[in-house]
Amino acid sequence: MAKKKKMNKQKAKKKVVKKTAPKKRAVFVAKKMPVAEKKPVIAPAVGEQKPTGAEEGDAPQKHSGLQALRGMKDILPKEDQYWYALLDHAIRLAQFYEFGWIQTPLLEDARLYTRSIGKGTDIVEKEMYVFEDRDMERVALRPEGTAGVVRAYIQHGMLNLPQPVKMWYFASMFRHERPQKGRYREHHQIGFEVFGDPSPSADAQLIAIAYTLLSDLGISVEVRINSIGMPDERARYIMELTGYYRAKRSYLCEDCKKRLNRNPLRLLDCKEEGCKPLRDEAPQIVDWLSEPSKKFFMELLEDLDELQVPYSLDPFLVRGLDYYSHTVFEFYTKEQDAETAQSALGGGGRYDLLVEQLGGRPTPAVGFGVGMERIVTELKKRPDEFAQKPPTVFLAHLGQGARRKALRLLQDLHAEGMRVGFNLAKTSLKAQLDIADKQKVLYTLILGQKEMMDGTIIVRDMESGAQEIVDVTKIVPFLKKKL
């Protein structure tokens, strides 16, 4: 009861999450690519271009003419520490909660997505990269991860494994959206999916996993949650909603007028100033849920209370994919700037009908996906926390023979679990010592011709400048003692 009161109390003040719909239809057939689509994001001055999809603040670069496609972005080594941290946390959570790793193909039969995500959705209608391959098969680049995992679950007879079957992935997704901050045409998601668990505790645990992933990375997360019930409940609600908006049609923006016929639930997502007040007065789906659906939702909320995952109820959260039933949720940072305020870090929900819809036995399922680029953007605000520790030892070589020996020694040191800096391209000792200095290593090992002959190596203490000669076969225990 207390929860229900809470839900009602929140009804009036909920914010709606806007999914900006690209303006033009963009189903690709390779031969008919419109010329305008080939223009780069930033009109370049000759010879001085920013790479497409570059971050604000990146220096313009000279280029050879070819660039990444509009809305696509190179992920460069300079940001690897953030991606490593994110993946590292995801892998630990996956292992602890017993999720197996799955990777499905990037290309699938296009029907997989039309049948699961839904024909009337923005993703299928406007954003999917669809084309005929050389065998004239109609294929699509993966726009989201769930459908492929469901296909694999059915195809590999995972219905016959002990349930629940739990899988996770990280993969790139392609959506031909209008590029803007935090919205790319290729993005990456980490996704977790659970098959064969009908209990609300599965939903609660998944929400808690995503919450932990984000908060362990230092992001203060806001969880927004709603229930959209089962299709019959939703159908009755949509009738009510459509009736409500029809009566106010003349006040709606042009996009919403179209949504009224095609996908009325998406009216709740509109951020146009004229439409917002209408939404505040709109009927709310929670009032159209059956008793079992309400009970399911209440139990989930109680599980979240037990898990101490804070959430807010968002009666207008409907999500942009058709396969959901019952629970839907999204994750936002509490510290969003105005530009990214509408960008969810992740989202998910229950999809109890999808396995059957794609040809499997009826199987309850639930999952979430988080956007890796958007999370990395958050992490980049705290670079010091993710800076990689430099090595404590540097290995310098002098002469070709020493370089060969250094190759081998590096391998041995690596096998002993030591991190050692080196630069095989530099030939002068001074240049190598400069690098060692910059890396602030404690010791530099110097291997020259004489040491090669003697089977020794020089160990230079970088702070005092003192040097010792050590038997090269004893260098590992020597260093281990020093470090």
Binding site for ligand HAM (CB under 6 A): 144-146, 175, 177, 182-184, 187, 189, 191, 193, 320, 344-349, 367-371, 373-374
In this chain, which residue has its C-beta nearest to ligand HAM? 371
Residue with smaller CB distance to ligand HAM, 177 or 222: 177
**Smallest separation, CB 182 to ligand HAM (Å):** 6
E strand or H helix that includes residue 152: helix 146-155
Q: How far, in Å, CA of 108 to CA of 25, rounded?
A: 21
**Smallest separation, CB 381 to ligand HAM (Å):** 16
Q: Which residues pair with residue 138 across a beta bridge?
A: 132
**Smallest separation, CB 200 to ligand HAM (Å):** 15
**Smallest separation, CB 178 to ligand HAM (Å):** 9
A 10 A CB-CB count for 370 gives 23
Residue with smaller CB distance to ligand HAM, 373 or 451: 373
Residue with smaller CB distance to ligand HAM, 127 or 303: 127
**Smallest separation, CB 117 to ligand HAM (Å):** 8
Residue with smaller CB distance to ligand HAM, 178 or 248: 178
Q: How far, in Å, CA of 190 to CA of 145, rounded?
A: 9
Q: How far, in Å, CA of 147 to CA of 193, rounded?
A: 11
Residue with smaller CB distance to ligand HAM, 147 or 402: 147
Q: How far, in Å, CA of 18 to CA of 273, rounded?
A: 12
Q: What's the one-letter identity of residue 414? A: H
**Smallest separation, CB 7 to ligand HAM (Å):** 22
In the numeric block, which tokens belong to residue 309?
A: 């995952």
Residue with smaller CB distance to ligand HAM, 169 or 237: 169
**Side-chain half-sphere CA neighbours of 95 within 13 A:** 5
Q: How far, in Å, CA of 239 to CA of 233, rounded?
A: 10
A 10 A CB-CB count for 183 gives 20
User: 474 — phi, psi (to 5°)?
Assistant: -110, 10
Q: How far, in Å, CA of 399 to CA of 470, rounded?
A: 19
DSSP letters spanning 417-430: T--EEE-TT---HH
Residue with smaller CB distance to ligand HAM, 72 or 260: 72
Taking the alpha carbons at both ends of the chain, their separation in whole angstroms is: 61
**Smallest separation, CB 183 to ligand HAM (Å):** 4
